[in-house]
Chains A and B, each alone.
Chain A
Amino acid sequence: MNYYLRRTARIPLTVLAVITLTFGLIRLLPGGPFTQLRIQLIRQGVPVEQVNARIEALQNIRPDAPLWQQYLDYLAGVVTLDLGESISLGQPVMDVIARALPWTVFLVVTSTVLMFVIGVLIGAVQAYWEGSRFDKTFSGASIFLMAVPSFIFAVVFLFFLAYQWSLFPTGFASARGVESGFTFEYFASVVHHATLPILAFTIGGIGSTALNMRGNSIQVLGEEYVEVARLRGLSDGRIATRYVAQNAILPMYTGLLLLIGFRLGGTVVLEEIFSYPGLGYYLISALEANDYPLMMGCFLVITVTLVVAVYIADLTYGFIDPRISAGDADGY
């Protein structure tokens, strides 16, 4: 239990570190957090004497306060879920993010789960019929799939399926005319719009998952306990699921949850290509509009989402593999 407690205690620390990093990064940006904003505000016709007050409202930071004061203010703002106000959209950053986050999570979780399930199935069958034509074909295909980044799939799909043959929409999360709500029409529209991004994001990952699963399974098949299970006369089904599949999937599991993190960052490119209104899309549009509050807000939220994902990975891995929950090893 000690391990879980310590692991949980580390979360606030990590989040604090991330907030600090975000605060530091804002300062790294060209012109710092204020120069750009000040010019923009003055250009918008805000009287010079009100500019500081406006900046404070937008970014939660008093530009004339000392650095530690700014840091504490920023910290307090983040803790109370106040991330300032978006300059380009004229809305609180939190509102924008609350709208965007579900789309990103939907995209990442759906495609990652699909990728994992399909990849594991293919890899298992490959390992079972090792050396067969099926195995060779799919090994070749997997290697090729690994070499194609998701955005290339996205562009190819867009070119053929959306622009040339008009089978799928070219962007956005749902059709403009359809109102959001628990209606069939809305769900159909959402699925229709999400198909291409999810497909592009899933296909590329299948290759490496299948190859991983194949390799792990073949290794497990060579273990003595599998041989013993066979000698004991256990049924093939039981050996395949309880002995081989379980042990082959185990090492891939931590990988999977880490992968969600990588993919969470990776959606940025896809969302931009498909104009899919997730966090990545807003991150890029904020970047293009020099909208620092929105940009750093998106960055912070993507990061915190990832912290939570890694935390879940760690906890569940302990449950699945009892060797890990023993926690940290003795020092040598």
Chain B
Amino acid sequence: MATETDSQSSSEEIDWRSESSSAEMTRRDRAEEFYRRWVYEPVVIAWSDVRTRLGILILGGYLLMAAVDVFGLWRNPSTNQAPQLLPPFENWSFPLGTTNSGVDLLALIIDSTPFILLMVLAGGVWATSLAVVVGTVSGYKGGRVDTAITSVSDFFMAIPGLPLVIVLAIALSPENPILLGVVLTINYWAGLGRSIRSQVLSIREASYVEASRTMGTSTPRIIVKDVLPNIMPYVMVNFVLAARYTIFASVGLYFIGVLPYTGQNWGVTLNNAYYQGGLFTTEALHWLLVPMIAIVGLAFGLILLSQGMDRIFNPRVRTRLSGESESVEEDENTTTTGMF
């Protein structure tokens, strides 16, 4: 408790960290530095890793599909627009085949891509940003703040996600993709915040954090400058996991038919294929497979991207700016000491 008052009083008195060194940099230098640090290097590092490159390409494909739908470059799905249950890759005006009511499957998939992407983004952003705030503050501040936040997130953690979403879905009937994304991850932040908190707990004992504290740096500044960079790779990976959870949860719930919908989307298509005979004959198998591939593809792209995320934020990789996988290059003798 004593440290808290000490640090506050001293921070008001002087701020000796006035950034005299940066004054020597011109604005142009700074812009260049910023570009190099936040645009050029991440892109080079991301592109140099096969997994991340593949992930970017896959996600780019989905963005393209969304763009195709937004600009209306492909027909809208409607019944009897094509022969029924056409197998894929036979008729090139309907490359992925059709459903049992003659709906173009590719049109179905493309039509719901913007919806799904928006929902996934909303879910991921909501869950991770809330978790980061909650986790860093409660982990770093400790004491009473921690107890209060932990109790609240304990409560939210105690509610199993999907059943809550199911009950909320009846109450709210969310059909807006952003609202749906938020509802789906309504309590995802609690568990994530908890694990961020436990990471912060070990970071707050680090000597550089203690140094900042003794110097009288304010809590928000310490959290942003000293704590956040350490957990950033973890946060980004979890952003992707939250996004993945949003896809899985939404499609799963659409699939078993508990979410309200107006148009079709991947989950609804899967549901229709499943309950209208896709399970019994191999003729309708493509109808079942196409939405599955759409779901798995998106999740796969996200996960591949997250695999390389660690390198983008890892200063050791950045300084080297070498493309090859660090761990793969080193032989067994160096892995043990390879940390430095």
A residues contacting B by CB (< 8 A) are: 10, 13-14, 17-18, 21, 25, 28-30, 130-131, 143-144, 146-149, 151-152, 155-156, 158-159, 163-164, 218, 221-223, 226-227, 230, 254-255, 258, 261-262, 264-266, 268-269, 272-273, 280, 283-284, 287, 295-296, 298-299, 302-303, 306-307, 310, 328-332
Contacts and interface: CB of A to CB of B under 8 A. Distances in A.
Contacts of B145: 331
Contacts of B157: 258, 261, 306, 310
B279 A149 contact: no
Contacts of B141: 331-332
Nearest to B171: A28
Listed residue (B140, B252, B292) with the most chain A CB atoms within 10 angstroms of its CB: B252
Contacts of B231: none
A262 B304 CA distance: 23
A146 B213 contact: no
Nearest to A321: B198
B4 interface: yes
Contacts of B253: 269
B101 interface: no
A25 B159 CA distance: 13
A159 B147 CA distance: 49
B158 A269 contact: no
Contacts of B248: 149, 151
Contacts of B170: 29-30, 287
B312 to A, nearest CB: 16
Contacts of A269: 162, 252-253, 255-256
Chain A's interface: helix, strand, loop or mixed, by majority? helix
A226 B338 CA distance: 13
Contact of A310 (B158, B270, B302, B330): B158
Nearest to B339: A222
Nearest to A132: B328
B207 interface: no
A156 B274 CA distance: 11
5 contacts: A147-B300, A159-B285, A254-B198, A306-B158, A306-B159
B6 to A, nearest CB: 10
A318 to B, nearest CB: 12
Contact of A29 (B161, B162, B171): B171
A265 B292 CA distance: 21
A10 B116 CA distance: 39
B140 A151 contact: no
Contacts, number: 181
Interface in B53-92: none
Interface of B: 1, 3-4, 7, 51, 140-147, 151, 154-155, 157-164, 166-168, 170-171, 191, 194-195, 198, 201, 204, 213, 219, 244, 247-248, 251-253, 255-256, 258, 270, 274, 279-280, 282, 285, 288, 292, 295-297, 299-300, 302-304, 307, 327-328, 330, 332, 335-339
A154 to B, nearest CB: 10
Contacts of B146: 328-329, 331
Given A30-B170, A130-B335, A310-B158, A328 B147 contact: yes
Contacts of A148: 296, 299
A218 B296 CA distance: 28
Given A329-B142, A332-B143, A131 B160 contact: no
Contacts of A295: 167
Given A155-B288, A268-B162, A298-B163, A332 B140 contact: yes
A230 B336 contact: yes
A280 B194 CA distance: 26
A149 to B, nearest CB: 4
A331 B142 contact: yes
Given A222-B339, A287-B170, 11 more contacts: A13-B151, A143-B300, A221-B335, A223-B339, A230-B336, A265-B162, A266-B162, A284-B166, A299-B167, A306-B160, A328-B146
Contact of A143 (B51, B288, B332): B51
Contacts of B142: 328-332
